[in-house]
Structures are given as structure tokens and as C-alpha cells.
Amino acid sequence: MTSISQEDLLSMLAEELDAAREQLEDLGMKLCCSPEVARNHMNELQSIDYVGQRCASVAAILRSDDMHAASHAATLESITGRLASLIDGITERRAH
């Protein structure tokens, strides 16, 4: 089995997230073209957009030269909140 570098693996994962985001955007746009769907499912359509934004943020972190710094600079609260919880958990485990 051929070995893949961490950099190549992270790049490939970021590309997969970009492809997923594009598919979500296409789906959201198609669903928004139906006034009835848009009117009856606005929250769900916003969720599709939010998931796409999360994919884009994680992809940007994976591409960053300093993933730790990039994760702190993430614009989505879900990512920064989970990172803070993770850091708190690690800090607590080290204290015991």
C-alpha cells in the first residue's frame, strides 16, 4: 500500500468538503426555485446553507499552514465552540 503524506490527505479531505458544499448549494438553489418549497421549508433551506458554511470553514482549516490558529479564527460558532470544549476537556484531564 502506498503511503500518502498528511498534507496530501488533508488537501484531499478539504477537496471532498468543497465538493459536498457545492452539492448542498446546488440542492438549496434548486429547492429555492420552487416558491412553495421555499415558503414552507425556509428553516430547512437555511440549515442546508449552514451545513455548506461549516464544510467551507473546515476545509479552510484543513488547508491552513497553522490549523490550530485557523480553527480559532473560524467564523462559525459551532466550530469555535466545539474547539473550546475540546481544549477545556484536555486541560481538565491534564489537571487530574
Over the stretch 61-81, which tens digit does the pLDDT of each residue have? Answer: 999 999 888 887 777 665 555
What mean pLDDT do residues 41-60 have?
A: 91
Most distant CA atoms of the chain, gap in Å? 56
Question: How far apart are the C-alpha atoms of 39 and 32, rounded to whole Å?
Answer: 9
Which position has the higher pLDDT, 32 or 16? 16
Long-range contacts of 77-86 (CB under 8 A, 24+ apart): 78/54, 79/54
Q: Say what the pLDDT of residue 71 is.
A: 80
Query: What whole-number distance in Å separates Cα of residue 75 and Cα of residue 81?
Result: 11
How much of the chain, in percent, has pLDDT values that exceed 90? 52
